[in-house]
Structure 1
Amino acid sequence: MTHTTTLPSTTPASSKKQRRDEFIGGAKATFPLIVGAIPFGIIFGTLAEPSGLSVIGALAMSIIVFAGASQFIVLGLLAADAALPIIIATTFVVNLRHILYAANLVPKVRHLPQRWRILMAFGLTDETFAAVSSRYLQQNDLRNAHWFYLGSFCAMYGNWVLCTAIGVALGELFPDMTQWGLDFAMSVTFIGMVVPYLKNKPMWACVIVAAAMAIATAAMPHKLGLLLAALSGIAVGLSCQMMLVRQSKQHNNKNNKEL
């Protein structure tokens, strides 16, 4: 559950090739997740106009907001003629999960200039977090890791804006696209993001508890159940990890005494 990263005390100037390789690596690592996000983006574009959002408004939202779940929620609230404060408060609650992502990334980006951290904060999505978390787990060298992050962000950002535009165009040609069941691809994508991390008991405990809590709290308003499920999963996973560490120490101490 925890991982210690290292940063060389003397960081040499990174070559263009190293930065380019990291950038391309980030885009490649995110590509499988992009495939699942494509139908999601297209569906958002098709729903925009029926929900009362103009073509320009839909494109501007994807360019400026860049948050799939929040954008879908906004469409639903717009269709229901919800007040602006309600829309802002609801999307704020839904995006609280990004605080958990950011807390995990802080030790890896604190050495970067402010301009980089601002850009990375804007580009933080579920898919990019999954891709860069794998990068940080596999390599301790952080000198060019932010270029890997940038590659992932640019790939996701370009895909989301492009798919929104495609959805807006297709929405006029195929008004019933929302009935095709394309949103199932996004569920498969999120499952694919989690499976590679199921390598030990704490991670299994975390996922099982989070899934159970998400189902149990599905009826909670403003998607608060998702945040509660995430916090519950983290608490259980961390507890399991601490228990395993304690057992390991006790076992080592017992062996040392016997020796």
Structure 2
Amino acid sequence: MNQDRVKEVAKGIYDIAPIALAAIPFGVLFGAVASVSNFNTQNTLLMSLLVYTGTMQMIGLHMISAGTHWLLILFASLVVNSRYLFYSAVLAPHLKSLSFWWRFALGYAMSDQIFILAERRYASRDSSTAKHWYMLTASFALLAVWILTTWIGFAFGNLFKQIQGVGLDFALCATYVALAAPLLVNPRTLIAGTSAGLLAVSLSDMPYQSGLFVSIAVGIAVGLIADRFLRDGRSGIVDEENP
């Protein structure tokens, strides 16, 4: 290994360590909920290995357990993971000189946290020519932690089956809330989120969990309408102040 490569590997381990530590409870939670939901070990570990996105794994697990049609699960996956198109567009100029297998490996192990670290590393002004080693090290270190904690959670989940009222179903719902709440930061997102949430509860009896997608579509439409009205309102105020 040349000096740049050694430094990038060491920095990747150093930077990913606190993020991997924070991911442990979510990996354990997913494994435990999968066990309680009667998934087997192979399917649970394959989901973490092949899907490898905590949000979609939680959503997909819930939808599969509820008997949702596979086309709706596929649609949910495309919607939830569409942000990776943005990630690839941002990082592509930095990775275009790498071989296909390098780009495949880095793309496979991409996650929200890795994108932030990689974008920050490539934006730094230094002479290192091995920044892809930083990204590779951080990516697969986090992936290893995720798969290991999934297995640990699944093992403990088998014990949780014998415990009444352990509250794993509530933990799953609480995780959804924790993921969504930080996004409700302005009137538009509050209106859209509230509309979608209330409608999802009202349509919860629809077959194949299809009410969820109706509520998402309505929430998006309401958010766009609210955004337009709010912008028009601000424009009217500006016009009145500057006749």
Question: TM-score with structure 2 length normalisation?
Answer: 0.69
Q: 1:217 aligns with which of 181, 192, 197?
A: 192
CA deviation string 1:43-96 (max 9, x = no partner): 000111232421210011111221111111111111110111111111111000
Comparing 96-105 with 133-142, greater Cα deviation is found at 133-142
Q: 5+ unaligned residues in a row in structure 2: which ranges?
A: 198-211, 225-243
Give the CA RMSD over aligned residues. Answer: 3.0
Q: Could you say which residue in structure 1 is the equivalent of 2:168?
A: 178
Q: Could you say which residue in structure 1 is the equivalent of 2:19?
A: 33
Q: CA deviation at 1:217?
A: 2.8
Cα gap change, 1:96 to 1:25, in 2 (>3 Å): same
Q: 1:97 aligns with which of 83, 99, 102?
A: 83
Cα contact 2:33–2:169 (8 A) shared by 1: no
Query: Take 2:109 and 2:190, find their aligned partners in 1: how far apart are those partners?
Result: 28
Secondary structure of the residue that 2:98 maps to in structure 1? coil
Q: CA deviation at 1:211?
A: 3.4
Cα gap change, 1:187 to 1:29, in 2 (>3 Å): farther
Query: Take 2:144 and 2:123, find their aligned partners in 1: how far apart are those partners?
Result: 26
CA deviation string 1:107-163 (max 9, x = no partner): 111111111111111111011111112212223546211100001101110010001
Q: CA deviation at 1:99?
A: 1.0
Q: Could you say which residue in structure 2 is the equivalent of 1:127?
A: 113
Map of 1:117-196 to 2, 5 A cutoff? Answer: 117-141=103-127, 143-175=129-161, 176=166, 178=168
Map of 1:8-27 to 2, 5 A cutoff? Answer: 15-27=1-13
Cα contact 1:46–1:171 (8 A) shared by 2: yes
Cα gap change, 1:47 to 1:84, in 2 (>3 Å): same
Query: Take 2:216 and 2:93, find their aligned partners in 1: how far apart are those partners?
Result: 27
Query: Take 1:99 and 1:20, find their aligned partners in 2: how far apart are those partners?
Result: 30
Q: CA deviation at 1:35?
A: 1.8
Cα contact 1:77–1:87 (8 A) shared by 2: yes
Cα gap change, 1:216 to 1:123, in 2 (>3 Å): farther
Cα contact 2:36–2:157 (8 A) shared by 1: no
Q: 5+ unaligned residues in a row in structure 1: which ranges?
A: 1-14, 192-207, 233-259
Query: Take 1:216 and 1:92, find their aligned partners in 2: how far apart are those partners?
Result: 24
Q: Could you say which residue in structure 2 is the equivalent of 1:245?
A: none
Secondary structure of the residue that 2:36 maps to in structure 1? coil
Q: Identity across aligned pairs (percent)?
A: 27
Q: CA deviation at 1:216?
A: 3.6
Q: CA deviation at 1:214?
A: 4.3
Question: TM-score with structure 1 length normalisation?
Answer: 0.66
Cα contact 1:46–1:177 (8 A) shared by 2: no
Q: Could you say which residue in structure 1 is the equivalent of 2:238?
A: none
The answer on 1:54 being equivalent to 2:44 is no
Query: Take 1:163 and 1:66, find their aligned partners in 2: how far apart are those partners?
Result: 13
User: What is the letter of the counterpart of residue 217 of structure 1?
Assistant: A
Cα gap change, 1:20 to 1:59, in 2 (>3 Å): same
Cα contact 1:26–1:132 (8 A) shared by 2: no
